[in-house]
Amino acid sequence: MKNEYFKLPIPFSEILSRKEIEKTNVRFSINQKIQLMLLTYFGECRYNDNFGCVVWEYDFTNVSNENAWRDLVVGSLTKTLVSNEPRLQNINIKVSIKEEEFDDPKDHTIKRVKRRLDVNVKANMLETNEPYDYSQMIYVSPISLD
């Protein structure tokens, strides 16, 4: 089973019926795990209270200091990655925060503003020392991915 990685969500019905399930490579597996970390709030995973990201503690709140919030997100994600993703080393995370306006699809005179986090993770894969790069845009309040 070493070096065999599975795509999320795991098809448990196929496992229980002893069917072969689709596997993926280490890079895609790490991508999935980072995305799961970004979308999980602390305490949501019953087996590991340190798995997740602080983003969700500030969802739907007015953040008065975006630089402090960005630094908090970077620190939180760095700590989570270091303790939960042993396949990466030399982890460097950058987060930028932007606000975007969207037209309401029903009434184009109404604008909605969403906060967007651009997350970029640069590291090296431990086994091969190859460069690793991951980027994700997350719209919060309410959440959506792009």
Is the separation of the CB atoms in 64 and 72 below 8 Å?
no
The stretch 116-136 carries a mean pLDDT of 95
pTM: 0.80
Is the separation of the CB atoms in 121 and 134 below 8 Å?
yes
The stretch 59-69 carries a mean pLDDT of 71
Q: Is the pLDDT of residue 67 over 70?
A: yes
Q: Which of 29, 48, 51, 25 is nearest to 39 (CA)?
A: 51
Summarised one tens digit per residue, pLDDT across range 89-112 is: 999 999 998 888 777 777 777 677
Sequence-ordered alpha helix ranges (H) in 86-135: none
At 78 the pLDDT is 95
Mean pLDDT score across all residues of the chain? 84
Is the separation of the CB atoms in 98 and 118 below 8 Å?
yes
What domains sit in the chain, N to C, each tagged with a CATH number? 23-145 (3.10.450.40)
Longest CA span, the chain: 55
